[in-house]
Structure formats: structure tokens, C-alpha cells
């Protein structure tokens, strides 16, 4: 799955520290899934910058 919330839920079964990432899952999931398809609407520059900042924090 590329649904980040689902992946985090699985990780939580092993390590509770992943709970910190739940809030970011909803923001980043469209970049993991929807962007792969041609009908995906490009994000606004500010939204893209925010997603990059979040991804850098959790990498």
C-alpha cells in the first residue's frame, strides 16, 4: 500500500514512536499515490513546499 496512514498503523504494532507521524500521513499520502496518475492536479507551490518540509523532518 502507498496509503501512509495504513503503513504507520502497521509500524505502530512494532514501535509506538511512529504515533508522531500519524498527523503527517494525510498530508503526504496524495504525493505517494495520486501524483502517479495523469489526472492529478498539481499542488500549489506552498502546499508542495510544506510537503517537502514534512518529508524532510520524517525521513
Q: CA-to-CA distance for 42 and 46, rounded, in angstroms? A: 11
Question: How much is the CA Rg of the chain, to the nearest whole Å?
Answer: 12
Q: Which residue has the higher pLDDT, 17 or 2?
A: 17
Domain ranges of the chain: 4-58
Q: State residue 49's pLDDT score.
A: 94
Please give the pLDDT value at position 45. 93
Which pLDDT does position 37 carry in this prediction? 76
Grid coordinates standing for 22?
500519524
pLDDT of residue 1: 65
Q: What is the Cα–Cα distance from 28 to 51, expressed in whole angstroms? A: 6
Burial 17-55 (b: 16+ CB within 10 A, else e): ebeebeebbeebbebeeeeeeeeeeeeeeeeeeebeebe
Segment 5-55, tens digit of pLDDT: 899 999 999 999 999 888 888 888 888 777 777 777 888 899 989 999 998
Give residue 42's pLDDT. Answer: 82
Amino acid at each position: 500500500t502507498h496509503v501512509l496512514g495504513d503503513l504507520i498503523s502497521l509500524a505502530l504494532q512494532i514501535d509506538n514512536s511512529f504515533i508522531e507521524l500519524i498527523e503527517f500521513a494525510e498530508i503526504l499520502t496524495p504525493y505517494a499515490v495520486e501524483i502517479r496518475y495523469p489526472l492529478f492536479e498539481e499542488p500549489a507551490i506552498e502546499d508542495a513546499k510544506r510537503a517537502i518540509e514534512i518529508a524532510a523532518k520524517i525521513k
